[in-house]
Amino acid sequence: MGKVILIASGKGGVGKTVFASNAGAKLAQQGYKVVLIDMNMGLRNLDICLGLENKIVYDVADVLSGVCRIKQALIKDRRFPELYLMSAPQNKQKTEITPLHMKVLCNKLKRNFDYIIIDALTGIDEGLTLAAAGADSAVIVTVPEYAAVRDADALDQLLLEMGITKRMYVINKVMANLMGTGLIPSISEIAESMRPDMAGIIQYDENIHLAANNGLPIVYKEGTYIEKNFCKILERIIEAS
Ligand SMILES: Nc1ncnc2c1ncn2[C@@H]1O[C@H](COP(=O)(O)OP(=O)(O)OP(=O)(O)O)[C@@H](O)[C@H]1O
Ligand SMILES: [Mg+2]
């Protein structure tokens, strides 16, 4: 039986999509069968991060509303043995899709995949309730900014209320030269204000930004400091999920 991991954040632009694409790519590289679901209805990004934007015919909304079968909406990333994308629709849905539909979809996917990774939309509104409906665990992505840390805590509280007890967080876009200046929250300050355990920190690195913009999960290249760090983070997440 597979596991559903939600990647979420309170504040926007912190790196959920980059994190989700790399988590999916790394797990697939390790031999797991993985599906990445983009739940940013109307504002999809994951397809670009994976370089699959020209391959989308059907999307997750088509599946949830019964327009197509699950298989028809699964796009294979040929660079990896078993990595699939289920994209979000390009336009916001007008049809009613409920959290129950999402839960059913996740349960079906769990029979055929080891990991189902959900790239959630930013925030804590009903879009999150839909994205989180089938989640077994969650990874909260945040950055060293006071606003982002407070939003991460608010999101964490909500996920707890939703019954997602397995939660971890990742601090992304860490700039070593700014840490310890007292001008932004330090890692230990963030750790003190968050309930769940930290899975790790990811540095701000322009190579991550460039790779994401060019449809390449950066972990694809093995042996870099980024890839090694990502593997450790993923190990902690998998252990706890
Ligand atoms: N560690 C990093 N170093 C440098 N750039 C990064 C890093 N992580 C993410 N980025 C860049 O930050 C931007 C936002 O990343 P991303 O789209 O993954 O965030 P998001 O949380 O999914 O945003 P949204 O709220 O729009 O869904 C992108 O331009 C991405 O390339
Ligand atoms: Mg995103």
Whether 45 shows a pLDDT value over 80: the answer reads: yes
Can you tell me the mean pLDDT for 216-228? 97
pLDDT at 94: 66
Whether 180 shows a pLDDT value over 90: the answer reads: no
Give the atom of ligand 1 at the shortest distance from the alpha carbon of 19.
18
- Whether 21 lines ligand 1, by a CB cut-off of 6 Å, is no
Sorted by sequence, the CB contacts under 8 Å of residue 185 that are 6+ apart come out as 144, 145, 146, 149, 193
Please give the backbone phi and psi of residue 51, each rounded to the nearest 5 degrees, phi first. Answer: 70, 30
Can you tell me the mean pLDDT for 108-136? 96
Can you tell me the mean pLDDT for 82-89? 97
Average pLDDT over the chain, rounded to an integer? 96
CA-wise closest residue to 112 among 59, 70, 63, 56: 70
Q: How confident is the model at residue 219 (pLDDT cuts 50, 70, 90)?
A: very high
Whether 130 shows a pLDDT value over 70: the answer reads: yes
The alpha carbons of the chain give a radius of gyration, in whole angstroms, of 17
Percentage, residues of the chain above pLDDT 70: 99
Whether 153 shows a pLDDT value over 70: the answer reads: yes
- Whether 208 lines ligand 1, by a CB cut-off of 6 Å, is yes
**Which residue from 201, 209, 226 has its CB within 8 A of the most atoms of ligand 1, so it is best to mutate?**
209
Q: How confident is the model at residue 91 (pLDDT cuts 50, 70, 90)?
A: confident
Tell how far the Cα of 128 is from the centroid of ligand 2, in angstroms.
12
Residue 60, SS3?
A: helix
The residue whose C-alpha atom lies closest to atom 25 belonging to ligand 1 is 12
119, 212 contact by CB (below 8 A): no
Sorted by sequence, the CB contacts under 8 Å of residue 155 that are 6+ apart come out as 8, 9, 10, 124, 128, 140
Q: How far apart are CA 159 and CA 65, in angstroms?
A: 25
Q: What is the DSSP letter of 66?
A: T
Q: How far apart are CA 133 and CA 72, in angstroms?
A: 22
